Amino acid sequence: MENITTIAVIGLGYIGLPTAAILASKGIDVVGVDVRQSTVDAVNRGEVPFVEPDLGTYLAGAVTQGNLTASTKTPAADAYIVAVPTPFKDDHAADLSYIEAAADAIAPQLVGGELLILESTSPPGATQHMADRILALRPDLRHKDDDGGLFFAHCPERVLPGRVMIELVTNDRIVGGVTPRAAERAKSLYETFCQGEILLTDAKTAEMAKLVENSFRDVNIAFANELSIIADKVGVNVWELIELANHHPRVNILQPGPGVGGHCIAVDPWFIVDAAPEEARLIRTAREVNDSKPGIVVEKVVNDLRTKATPRIAALGLAFKADIDDVRESPAIEIVHALAERLTDATILVVEPNVVDLPTELEGENVSLSTLEVALNSADLVLVLVDHADFRTIESGALRGKIVVDTRGIFA
């Protein structure tokens, strides 16, 4: 790893912290930077502030060995990995303000020769935008030669929550450089822990590759979600239908759900739509289908409870996928929030084994966290929103006499 002995990882969330921990486990001095003092304090204690299997072992070891520390201040370093949020605005254009804030904090620390990697999932051109912003702040570094200049690259993460520590090591990696030399330097860094193939390209192609991967998945999920709506209308069990269809050797339909959540699949396709709004017709339609699914679930629950004056609902799960605590863009939260507003006389008991407190948007008189046993015993309607392992063990007797709306097919 050429001339890199210290690395600053900007953003200690679901991608930044695992990346910092795994780099530090290789004996590299890493400083993790985050705006949240609580996150910084937790990391410095060797504690993981969210749920991710195996991360705790890596983190505790790296902190104990002194290779990983955390701070709210951006330090001088040989390399920077920017892993901050990239949400979209109301018009679905990317909000690059977090990347810009990271760039503004990095710029004063630079002396020349540093490698700057953007890992945040970004629209095409975001890495160049970060480079232009930093070089505008540091024009003294703009015209330096290859050794004294700055090296910008985009290396999108491609990991699955719940398997991050495994997939950071085993997955192939795309590395796109603003220049070929930047790509080579970034590849050298990732070779310290990545056992998969490292594929080199330019920065804009790397940005698009990540968006295309998630858009492909979004389109296929939209097919399954639309199929579930059609099957319900014509009176067919969609789970059985998909199972039968998938016996065809060239058919592999995904499973439907209450919508699509998480920071990747629910967000990334909009970056392609924003970049080419007239051309991205299929990608836009898939997003619209998946974004409409929470509302369809709400209408079904409201209709099923139309004869109940003061219904009690057991809402199982808030995370965007099973067995994690990540609620970003979760359709479960959207559904519970809408039900609380529509059914003001209802009591909604939320069961989410991976969170301690309700998200702020769900705080209200008729929504509360509950244990699984209490929620099931008192519910008129059981609404399955996430297929957590805890829910898969529910016995059929616990559902007797209750209305069941199963968006995940665990009781199919």
Is 155 catalytic? The answer is no
Tell me which of 194, 264, 293, 321 is the catalytic residue: 264
Q: What would the 3-class secondary structure string for the chain be?
A: CCCCCEEEEECCCCCHHHHHHHHHCCCCEEEEECCCHHHHHHHHCCCCCCCCCCHHHHHHHHHHCCCEEEECCCCCCCEEEECCCCCECCCCCECCHHHHHHHHHHHHHCCCCCEEEECCCCCCCHHHHHHHHHHHHCHHHCCCCCCCCCEEEECCCCCCCCCHHHHHHHCCEEEEECCHHHHHHHHHHHCCCCCCCEEEEEHHHHHHHHHHHHHHHHHHHHHHHHHHHHHHHHCCCHHHHHHHHCCCCCCCCCCCCCCCCCCCCCCHHHHHHHHCCCCCHHHHHHHHHHHHHHHHHHHHHHHHCCCCCCCEEEEECCCCCCCCCCCCCCHHHHHHHHHHHHCCCCEEEEECCCCCCCCHHHCECCEEECCHHHHHHHCCEEEECCCCHHHHCCCHHHHCCCEEEECCCCCC
> How many other β-carbons are positioned within 10 Å of the β-carbon of residue 263?
21
Is 204 catalytic? The answer is no
Tell me which of 155, 187, 204, 210 is the catalytic residue: 210
Kindly list the distances between the CA atom of residue 79 and the CA atoms of 16, 131, 199, 275, 306, in Å, as whole numbers in the listed order. 14, 14, 20, 30, 59
How far the first Cα of the chain sits from its last, in Å, is 52
Contact 381, 402 (CB under 8 A): yes
Q: Which residues are catalytic?
A: 210, 264
